[in-house]
Amino acid sequence: MRINDHIRFVKDCLAAGFTPFAYEGRLFYIGPAVVSESLTDTTRLNTTVPISWDDMGKGFVVFPSKSTNETDPERLEAVLFLQKIREKSGLN
């Protein structure tokens, strides 16, 4: 993850009319995010930054795929392994 990705994401959000905020989400994500009523609505972002989202039941929280705290290769491997376990068990 490059910090420039987060800066680009915030700039793209502002240009698309979204209000970014600091988000601490699942899988230890820390960084900028926006709330959108639907994933279709996020097409307005028109960003080159890879994004992820959480369905929070009252809309979607959309954020860059890489967190600001994911720089250690072993930590990244552990987080990805946890995600696979959650997906296989239906907890994700």
In this prediction, residue 69 carries a pLDDT of 63
33 contacts 62 by C-beta, under 8 angstroms: yes
Taking the mean position of all CA atoms in its chain, how far away is CA 37?
15
Q: pLDDT of 4-57, one tens digit each? A: 888 889 999 999 999 999 888 766 778 889 999 888 888 888 899 989 888 877
**Residue 1 pLDDT > 60, yes or no?**
no
Closest CA to 67 of 50, 44, 55, 82: 50
Could you tell me the pTM of the whole model? 0.69
Residue 68: pLDDT band with limits 50, 70, 90? low
**Residue 78 pLDDT > 80, yes or no?**
no
**Residue 71 pLDDT > 70, yes or no?**
no
Number of domains in the chain: 1
Q: What are phi and psi of 40, to 5 degrees?
A: -60, -40
Q: DSSP of 57-72, one letter per residue?
A: SSSEEEEESS-TT---
Residue numbers of the domain that contains 34: 3-89
Average pLDDT of the segment spanning 44-73: 81
